[in-house]
Amino acid sequence: MPYLGKVLIVDDDQNVLELIKLYGEREGFEVIGVNDGDLALAAFDRENPDVVILDIMLPGVDGLTLCQNLRAIRMVPIIMLTAKGEEADRVLGLEMGADDYVSKPFSPRELVARIKAVQRRAQPADLIRVRKLKYPGLEIDADIRRVIVKETPIELTPREFDLLYHLAQNPRRVFSREDLLAAVWGYDYFGDQRTVDVHIRRLRGKLQHLPHEYLTTVWGVGYQFTPPIKEE
C-alpha cells in the first residue's frame, strides 16, 4: 500500500483517536494522535504533518485557537471536528482558516475521504495546467500557488486558493454553490453549502485592497469572477 502522508489528529476522546488511526492507517496514512490542545503545537512542529484534524472542544488550548496558531506557522490543510448541529462552531472554524469540517458523530470512511480531498487540493501537480492568470492588480500563479495583490503576495489556505483559481479561470461564468463544491471540494460534499459563502467572504477580505471587486454575488444563483471591463 502506498504511503499517503502524515495526519495529526488532536482530540481528547481516545476512541476517536483510535478509530481515525485504524481507518487512516488502513488507507496508507501515518496517523499521530494528541489528546490535549497544549501538546498540539509541539507535535505539529515535531511531526510536520500533511493534514491536521482538530476537535473544537479540547483541554488546554481550544481547537479554534489552535487553528489560528497553526495557520500562522504553515498553510497545512486543516479539518475541524464539530458537535452535530453546532452551526456557529462550523462557521467560526472556517472563518479561522479551516479548509473543511466534519460533524460528530462521523463516518470514518467519510473522514478519510475528506483527508484525501484536502491533501489533494494542496498539491500543485493536481491543478489544471493553466499556470498563470493576470488581471488588473491581481496575479494568480498555479506553479507556486501564489496570489499577488498590487505587487504584494498574500497568504491563502489551500481551499481558498483553489476556489479563487477555479473562478478566475472562468471569468464572468456564474457558478452555483453546488457547482463550486463539486469542482473545488472534489467529492460529494455532505456539509452545509454555506461553506462556500464563508470561503468567499474570507477571500473578499484578503482581496479588499484591490480597486475592483472581483468576486461578485449573483443573487439566487451563486458567484462569479468579474474582471474590469476594458475601456475602448
d(CA 87, CA 75): 24
On whether the 125-225 domain is CATH 3.10.20.740, my answer is: no
The string of pLDDT tens digits covering residues 116-133 is 888 777 665 444 445 789
d(CA 228, CA 211): 10
Contact 141, 169 (CB under 8 A): no
Q: What superfamily in CATH does domain 5-122 come from?
A: Response regulator (3.40.50.2300)
Q: Do domains 5-122 and 125-225 have the same CATH topology?
A: no
As a whole number, mean pLDDT of residues 172-176 equals 87
Q: Considering the chain, what percentage of its residues have pLDDT values greater than 70?
A: 88
How do the domains of the chain map onto residue ranges?
5-122, 125-225
The string of pLDDT tens digits covering residues 185-223 is 765 555 567 889 999 999 999 999 898 999 999 998 899
- Please report which residue ranges of the chain form alpha helices under DSSP H: 14-27, 37-47, 63-73, 87-95, 108-121, 158-169, 177-180, 194-206
DSSP letter at 34 equals E
* Model-wide pTM > 0.85: no
As a whole number, mean pLDDT of residues 49-54 equals 92
